[in-house]
Structure 1
Amino acid sequence: MKNLVLLILGFLLGALAMYFYCQKDKDSLEGMNPLVPRGIINPDQIKTLTQAYNSRYDSINATVFKDVKGGDNRSSWYSLEDVRNYLTIAEQQAKDLKYNMDGVRLYLGAQPMVGDTPGYTTLLFVPTGTPMGSEGNLLNFTLQGGGGRDIPGGPGLDMGNGGDPPSSNYPQ
């Protein structure tokens, strides 16, 4: 009888500990809409981050784009319709490839050179996920963030519109 009580007490303490462990991320969003994604930043933070990129952008322009009017591209624009359609297609393709899609990773890329003119910088969306039925997944560790790996054979998204002019900083 004593062992049964200790076993029940152990389960209760374990469940309580797990509850608080899973709630730790939610504490930082107190008073906010639960649908608000992590990483939302305000316009002042956007300005700070894009201005911190200026020295890198200037280095790229001084070397690769020194003879190109307007310099390299600083941004990519995608329509909501294109992004939503891409996510739908990528999720279906992930299922077909036997993956659980958990997000997208953005890669910096560059369009191919045309003659002597270097291609503009672009952003590439790539689906990420984990194989379906992964072994040893007793708990959902995606709560910890980081996401899965790039899905081999998953479709990417490119061809966003560049800034106008390409060298425009935030805000445009």
Structure 2
Amino acid sequence: MEKELERPTQLITRKFAKDLHLNFMKYRASIIAKYIKKEDANAVWFSVEELENYIEYIKSKGEKTGYDVNGIRIYFGVYPEQKKYAEKAGLMTVFLQATGKKIRTNTKNEVQTFALLREESNADISSIEPMNYGSIGRPPSLNY
């Protein structure tokens, strides 16, 4: 029997998404373009396969390194102005970083020696590499 998926609670309407993107273009992208003297990236694309692979990778590596992976934090970044980054040089990007809670064993009480305790935090997990190198979108070729 196939598991019925729950509708995510964070979904927004396409109209609100368009408004958010237009606000970005009006209040951020235009300022950035004036400052850097070129049009910047306005979107980053990852395939479903890439995202699923990264999620499986961080879960597995987290387990191996003693973490309960509980999320992905998305950071903004800017590529260095170097030839090796070609058309991405100097443009915005996003990268994904696994977050989670360290799992440790309790050695203070012999009865609970192997019990797992979870730290209360959603911190970046520095032992898991971030993911980058999605495809960037730039005006006027990409508008929401």
Instruction: Report the TM-score, using the length of structure 2 for normalisation.
Output: 0.75
Number of the residue aligned with 1:52: 23
CA displacement 1:50-103 (0-9 Å, x = unmatched): 111121111100011x1x3xx110000000110000111111111122100001
Tell me the amino acid that sits aligned with residue 62 of structure 1. Answer: K
User: Distance in 2 between the 1:39 and 1:48 partners?
Assistant: 16
User: Distance in 2 between the 1:62 and 1:109 partners?
Assistant: 18
User: Distance in 1 between the 2:73 and 2:105 partners?
Assistant: 21
Tell me the amino acid that sits aligned with residue 124 of structure 1. Answer: F
Tell me the amino acid that sits aligned with residue 162 of structure 1. Answer: I
Q: Does 1:160 align with 2:134?
A: yes
Structure 2 unaligned regions, length at least 5: 107-117
Number of matched pairs: 123
CA displacement 1:33-52 (0-9 Å, x = unmatched): 86222311110010111111
Q: Mark the structure with the bigger radius of gyration.
A: 1
Which structure shows the bigger proportion of residues in strand conformation?
2
User: Distance in 2 between the 1:126 and 1:157 partners?
Assistant: 7
Query: Aligned Cα RMSD in Å?
Result: 2.4
1:120 to 1:134, Cα distance in 2 relative to 1, 3 A: farther
Number of the residue aligned with 1:20: none
Q: Is the 8 A contact 1:93 1:155 kept in 2?
A: no
Q: Is the 8 A contact 1:46 1:170 kept in 2?
A: no
Report the 3-state secondary structure (helix = DSSP H, G, I; strand = E; otherwise coil) of the residue aligned with 1:37. coil
1:134 to 1:149, Cα distance in 2 relative to 1, 3 A: farther
Structure 1 unaligned regions, length at least 5: 1-32
User: Distance in 2 between the 1:113 and 1:97 partners?
Assistant: 35
The percent of aligned pairs where both chains have the same amino acid is 22
Give the 4+ runs in structure 1 shifted more than 4 A. Answer: none
